[in-house]
Amino acid sequence: MTLTGVYVPLITPFDATGAADFAALEALANETLAAGASGLVALGTTAEPTSLNAAEQRGVVDVIARACRERSAHLLVGASTVEAVNVLCCRPGVTAALSVVPPFLRPGEAGVVAHFAALATVSPVPLVVYHVPYRTGQNLSADAIRRLADLDGVVGIKYAVGGIDTATLELLADLPAEFAVLGGDDAFISPLLALGAHGGVLASAHVATARFVELVDAWRGGTAARARTLGHHLAAISSAMFAEPNPTVIKAVLHAQGRIPTAAVRLPLLAAGPDAAESALQQVDTQGHAIVGARR
């Protein structure tokens, strides 16, 4: 199994009382899957999982799992510890756990590989490594990622290094077999796909979902001219969506579109400022019209 396409790490909507709104979450799940997403991520960073209590976390996974099951879509669940992955044994239908490289400790490449070897041994589902060095403090070379790919039970990587660096070029020039590279920096997804990535875990794909799906299909199908055009427009949307801490702007846009009841986030996040929200809405509108116009 090689994961391909667009995976949307869903937000957790909150209602006017501050409670998790599972009906709004279910609607978002079905909308993004209907627009062509290959799968969804539950309890990713975009979902504000550390601000959710245990019952809310279970509810989030229940809702998203049901939507994926009904549409035969892949389901990834954020789970980075032995305790968290063990919970997934009771959840049929989970495709993989999305497991972050151990943050803050900076254990070195050998420590990272040993960590994932141990986690894969006990996990009831395959693992997708989440590599985001500007959050974890731990860089990984292309060689270290290939060692991770060689581990039984590790099937891919969410690759979010903040750009296209030498390790990126080395990795994508010689991809491990049956190992998925999914871009995790939304603004850089187009060049990453051009270099051979299999898809992306893209928070920006809450909006313009079908266009992100088209972008992946265009690069993987060899339609470079269309892919470049889409990539430029979608990068502008993504940059606006990440102008303030994720998922604050995304929530502001979804609320303005009438798709979630409030734009509320939980501490330590603060709601997006009005200027950032308005700018993102303008980009969604402007770039959406430009994409349609470019097709004609």
Catalytic residues: 130, 158
H or E segment to which residue 128 belongs: strand 127-131
Q: Residue 238 to residues 42, 185, 203, 216, 245: CA-CA distances in angstroms?
A: 20, 9, 8, 15, 13
Contact by Cβ (8 Å): 197, 159: yes
Separation of alpha carbons 253 and 38, rounded Å: 23
80 contacts 115 by C-beta, under 8 angstroms: no
Strand segments, DSSP code E, in 13-69 are 39-42
3 state DSSP class of 75: strand
- Amino acid at residue number 167: A
